[in-house]
């Protein structure tokens, strides 16, 4: 029975992290406010999950100024894309849809 969940990635168990990676898989990059609005989470909640994904090198961060305002954007790294794809494949296997 352990094999059936072996491919699931612990980094994506949380719904916010799952949402972040889902959004970044279909967009080249998204800024912090767009992710916050899309997922309906607080600044602190989003920041902590993004930091965890960044720590594991699953997302990359780009900080720049737009005019005089700071703008932080996030992208899925190649490692993150591969890990998320494996996670989705494991979910499909779990559901018997492989």
DSSP 41: -
Which residues constitute the domain of residue 63? 2-94
Instruction: Please count the structural domains in the chain.
Output: 1
Return the pLDDT at 2. Answer: 59
Return the pLDDT at 57. Answer: 98
C-alpha atoms less than 13 angstroms from C-alpha of 76 in its C-beta half-sphere: 21
Gap between the Cα atoms of 80 and 82, Å rounded: 5
Return the pLDDT at 18. Answer: 96
Return the pLDDT at 5. Answer: 79
Gap between the Cα atoms of 20 and 1, Å rounded: 29
Dihedral (C-alpha) 70, 73, 38, 94: value to the nearest 10 degrees? -150
Gap between the Cα atoms of 98 and 90, Å rounded: 9
Q: Which parts of the chain have pLDDT scores under 50? A: none
The CATH number given to whatever domain includes residue 23 is 1.10.10.10
The three-state secondary structure class of 1 is coil
């Amino acid at each position: 029975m352990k094999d059936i969940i072996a491919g699931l990635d612990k980094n994506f168990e949380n719904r916010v992290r799952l949402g972040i990676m889902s959004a970044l898989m279909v967009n080249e990059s998204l800024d912090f406010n767009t992710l916050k609005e899309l997922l309906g989470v607080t600044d602190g909640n989003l920041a902590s999950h993004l930091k965890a994904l960044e720590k594991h090198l699953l997302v990359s961060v780009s900080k720049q100024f737009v005019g005089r305002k700071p703008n932080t954007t996030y992208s899925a790294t190649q490692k993150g894309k591969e890990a998320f794809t494996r996670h989705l494949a494991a979910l499909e296997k779990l559901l018997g849809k492989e």
